[in-house]
Structure 1
């Protein structure tokens, strides 16, 4: 296999892994990776303005709104408008979600343990560094 073919195979494999990872994560954990990260952030940091949450998690405006609507419909979070400025929406966990979120995090932890079970610590470190390098290269890519 030549270098160009290998690069194409790696790209294709990354696409497959990404698709399968997302699908399996949602099936095993019961929530999408993005919604789980939103809940994790709120759990660790508390009440925050929706726009700030969107920026901190680097999720586009339409997606954050969609995720928050789903979390609100599931009674995980509540959103309230700022009294002095109706353009500001505050987001926080509902008081009844702590046990459910603890369960969600345990499922997430179990999922990660299962998908990374056959890797040594050293392999995981190298893999992490490789992914960071790839992400840096993606961000440097121009038209």
Structure 2
């Protein structure tokens, strides 16, 4: 394996950790919980299974995050009127207010983070990461097929 590949692999992980920490510190909410609320804001009401698939995290983690957000009255769980066995998760008005506040902080943070990069720099990284994500997804799919 090329040394640069190894360096890139671990550098991506370090950047992920740093950006997640920065987001948590600046917005006072975890990135995963923010993503859950953002999805709900756009989708209205969804199942926890839907959230699990969209965020690519396990069911126990989704349940834990939803419970924390529900305790803070940012989300609520309700029975699906069309299927009483199914529970839907929705964002509350308090949650929507928090999302609006987070959006303002996020815009400021993003501006500070990316102000020294050109649009071309950012487009290049976006395209590269989409390609890398696709390649890793393909590898995961192949692994699942073999098991």
* TM-score range normalised by the length of the shorter chain: 0.7 to 0.9
Residue pairs, 1:1-143, within 5 angstroms: 4-82=2-80, 85-141=83-139
Q: Secondary structure at the match of 2:67?
A: helix
Q: Secondary structure at the match of 1:88?
A: strand
1:109-142 deviation line (CA, Å, top 9, x unaligned): 2222222221111111111000011112212335
What's the TM-score once normalised by structure 2's chain length?
A: 0.83
The alpha-carbon distance between structure 1 residues 92 and 6, as it changes in their structure 2 partners (threshold 3 A), is: same
- 1:50 and 1:88 in contact (8 A); partners too: no
How many residue pairs match? The answer is 141
Give the drift of 1:66.
Answer: 1.2
Taking only aligned residues, the RMSD between alpha carbons, in angstroms, comes to 2.1
Structure 1 unaligned segments of length 5 or more: list them.
none
- 1:25 and 1:33 in contact (8 A); partners too: yes
Q: Which runs of 4+ in 1 moved over 6 A?
A: none
What's the TM-score once normalised by structure 1's chain length?
A: 0.85
Structure 2 unaligned segments of length 5 or more: list them.
none
Q: Distance in 2 between matches of 1:48 and 1:108?
A: 24
